[in-house]
């Protein structure tokens, strides 16, 4: 990607927390922990997943940029949701963490040199993993989960529960 081509996903990365918070704000309290199916996440769990994912993402970009041929470790997001009892955690704190991690990472992205943008490592599931692939994935990540929140809310509304 050229610097101009990277500007769009960086802007999307910057906007992600506001998009996620806006989706969360549309969810009534009584719908937040409702699951559309036993194996699907509630809105509350989605936001907690986003917090853990953002912490992982922030470390991944730092390993990719600062280390020589880093190994990027995959994780089982469903196992994390169960193991760390997302439903029992604070969605407000999770949202605050998402915003803070992004605020901490944006200046790093804005300062990367062309040499740093060209760096790569190895992801334990994906194989070759570049800084630009990282950007493409995480620029969209919170937007994807905001749409998931909207779908979950629509399912809750249509379920007759709400």
Identify whether the C-beta of residue 81 lies closer than 8 Å to the C-beta of residue 62.
no
Identify whether the C-beta of residue 77 lies closer than 8 Å to the C-beta of residue 49.
yes
pTM: 0.95
Tokens representing 47?
């936001």
* Structural domain count, the chain: 1
Question: How many angstroms separate the CA atoms of 111 and 57, rounded?
Answer: 17
Cα 131–Cα 54–Cα 125 angle in degrees, nearest 5: 55
Chunked mean pLDDT (size 10), the chain, 162 residues: 92 98 97 96 98 98 97 97 97 98 98 96 97 97 98 93 70
Task: Identify the domain containing residue 117 by its residue range.
Answer: 3-158
Identify whether the C-beta of residue 32 lies closer than 8 Å to the C-beta of residue 42.
yes
pLDDT of residue 3: 86
CATH code of the domain in which 129 resides: 1.20.120.450
Cβ of 43: how many Cβ atoms within 10 Å?
Answer: 26
């Amino acid at each position: 990607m050229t610097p101009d081509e990277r500007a769009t996903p960086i802007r999307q990365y910057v906007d992600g927390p506001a998009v996620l918070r806006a989706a969360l704000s549309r969810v009534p309290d009584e719908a937040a922990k409702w699951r559309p199916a036993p194996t699907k996440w509630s809105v509350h769990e989605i936001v907690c997943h986003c917090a853990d994912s953002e912490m992982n993402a922030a470390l991944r970009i730092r390993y990719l940029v600062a280390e020589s041929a880093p190994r990027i470790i995959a994780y089982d997001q469903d196992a994390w949701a169960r193991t760390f009892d997302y439903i029992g955690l604070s969605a407000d704190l999770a949202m605050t963490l998402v915003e803070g991690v992004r605020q901490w990472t944006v200046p790093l992205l804005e300062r990367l040199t062309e040499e740093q943008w060209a760096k790569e490592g190895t992801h334990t599931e994906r194989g070759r993993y570049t800084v630009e692939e990282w950007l493409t994935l995480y620029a969209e990540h919170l937007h994807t989960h905001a749409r998931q929140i909207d779908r979950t809310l629509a399912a809750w509304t249509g379920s007759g529960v709400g």
